[in-house]
Structure formats: C-alpha cells, structure tokens
C-alpha cells in the first residue's frame, strides 16, 4: 500500500483474488483504497472489470466465495488434526534419533549451540 500511496505504479495485477486478500473485508477495503488513489486493480484468473456495476457485483460474490472456501479448508484441517490426536498419532516432525541421519544444517546448529554453551560456562 505504501508504494500505491507514493504512486509508484498505476495498475496492480494479481493472479487471483484469494492470493491478494485473506478476507472479504480486507479485499473490499484495499480495493476502495486503490480506487481512491487512482490505481486500477486487475485479477487475471477471475477476469474482473471493476468499472461496471456487474463487475463490482461479481467482485463481491467471488470475494465472499473465496472467504467461504478458505473457512471450509480451515475447518477440515482442524478436524483432521483433532481426529489424528484422538487416534493417538504424534503430530509434527519426528525427533532426530541418530546424528548420522542429521542434515548438515542440524549438525551445524548443534555444534554452534555447544560452542555457545561452552563459552558461557567459561565465563562463569
């Protein structure tokens, strides 16, 4: 938004509406601000022309549907996590058991932590 306020661009092009905004409220607010700044908004995938009344109606309908879809996905993920916990499954990344299977970054982090701990103990 800061770039739009500074008039660094005239047109904002997005792939899809749901890639730009996470909620209908945010989408409507942002589009209104772009309009007041004279910045055009183009959604390639949704093929919206916001200069006509029918385009604005479709904008609101599509925005509401994308927010609804995002909420459904969120509910399904939460339900799946609850189901997995109820079945006793351990969620998340498994703990590393053997250093030989550790990645280079993991080994580097462990060495760095060990050297920091030894330096702190030397100060005591």
| C-alpha angle 97-109-99 in degrees, rounded to nearest 5 | 25
Judge whether residue 92 has pLDDT over 60: yes
Confidence of residue 30 (pLDDT cuts 50, 70, 90): confident
Of 18-22, 28-32, 118-122, the range with the highest mean pLDDT is 28-32
| Mean pLDDT within 101-108 | 72
Distance CA 5, CA 116 (A): 46
Q: What is the average per-residue pLDDT within 87-97?
A: 81
Please say whether the beta carbons of 31 and 4 come within 8 A. Answer: no
- Among 7-11, 12-16, 75-79, name the most confident range: 75-79
Q: CATH says 2-86 is which class?
A: alpha beta
Tell me the percentage of the chain whose pLDDT exceeds 90.
14
Q: Where does CATH 3.40.50.1390 sit in the chain? A: 2-86
Distance of CA 70 to the CA centre of its chain: 11
User: What is the C-alpha separation between 34 and 41, in angstroms, rounded?
Assistant: 7
User: In 3D, which of 59, 65, 36, 57 has the Cα closest to residue 47?
Assistant: 59
Rounded to whole angstroms, the Cα distance separating 64 from 25 reads 9
């Amino acid at each position: 938004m800061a770039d739009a306020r500074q008039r660094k661009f005239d047109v904002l092009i997005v792939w899809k509406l749901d890639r730009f905004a996470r909620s209908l409220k945010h989408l409507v607010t942002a589009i209104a601000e772009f309009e007041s700044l004279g910045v055009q908004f183009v959604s390639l995938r949704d093929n919206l022309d916001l200069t006509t009344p029918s385009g604005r109606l479709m904008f609101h309908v599509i925005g509401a549907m994308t927010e609804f879809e995002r909420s459904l996905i969120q509910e399904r993920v939460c339900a799946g996590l609850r189901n997995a916990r109820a079945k006793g499954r351990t969620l998340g990344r498994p703990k590393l058991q053997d250093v030989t299977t550790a990645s280079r970054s993991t080994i580097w982090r462990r060495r760095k932590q060990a050297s920091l701990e030894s330096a702190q103990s030397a100060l005591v």
